């Protein structure tokens, strides 16, 4: 949606947030850099954080999850873990993606564009769309991006009955590792 072009430049800038808000009434986008994540991003809701010990690619590590639910039952999340060893980064990215697909029984992955500003280049960094089922048998759509900054591996996820493509593009498009 375009902001009105009449009036002074100041007035147009003032009206821009109102125009953008009109496009997504169920979402309250906010720029965040979750503590200790190393990622700047936008969430459409206020995330809560949880940390726990997990096993990823056969090795134990601490995983921190920042997540919230917005709009029509869509969950937006960022998971971050430091694998400590550069040799473990690629396998960890693959393990994150594989375990996520396995959690919803997704057999196919459709590639989507991903460009995370400041991320460490890695051939396994990617964004994919998947369809699967929740544990209660309900169908679910998911988009997942895995990327890295140094030895930190990250997974951004949007999960819901139906994913709003514009909201998902906003979420993934705002990812940066400052």
DSSP letter, residue 3: P
Residues 114-142 have a mean pLDDT of 96
What pLDDT band is residue 67 in, cutting at 50, 70 and 90? very high
Neighbours of 84 (CB within 10 A): 13
pTM for this model (two decimals): 0.82
Q: How many helices (H) and strands (E) does the chain have?
A: 3, 9
Taking the C-alpha atoms of residue 69 and residue 48, their distance in angstroms, rounded to an integer, is 10
| Domain containing residue 83: CATH number | 3.40.1000
Note down the domain range covering 152. 28-173
Altogether, the residues listed in the chain come to a count of 178
In a domain, 10, yes or no: no
Confidence band, pLDDT 50/70/90 cuts, at residue 137: very high
Looking at residue 72, its pLDDT comes to 67
Residue 148 lies in a domain: yes
* Number of domains the chain is built from: 1
Residues 86, 89, 91, 92, Cα dihedral to 10°: 140
């Amino acid at each position: 949606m375009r902001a009105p072009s009449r009036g002074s430049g100041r007035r147009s800038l003032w009206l821009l947030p109102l125009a953008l808000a009109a496009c997504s009434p169920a979402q309250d986008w906010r720029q965040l850099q979750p503590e200790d994540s190393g990622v700047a991003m936008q969430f459409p809701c206020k995330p809560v954080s949880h940390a726990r010990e997990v096993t990823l690619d056969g090795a134990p590590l601490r995983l921190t999850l920042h997540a919230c639910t917005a709009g029509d039952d869509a969950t937006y999340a960022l998971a971050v873990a430091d694998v400590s060893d550069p040799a473990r980064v690629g396998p960890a990215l693959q393990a994150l993606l594989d375990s996520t697909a396995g959690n919803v029984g997704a057999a196919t992955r459709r590639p989507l564009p991903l460009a995370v500003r400041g991320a460490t280049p890695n051939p396994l960094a990617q964004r994919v769309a998947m369809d699967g089922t929740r544990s209660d048998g309900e169908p679910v759509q998911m988009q997942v991006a895995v990327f890295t900054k140094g030895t930190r591996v990250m997974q951004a996820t949007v999960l819901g009955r139906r994913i709003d493509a514009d909201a998902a593009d906003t979420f993934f498009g705002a990812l940066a590792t400052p």
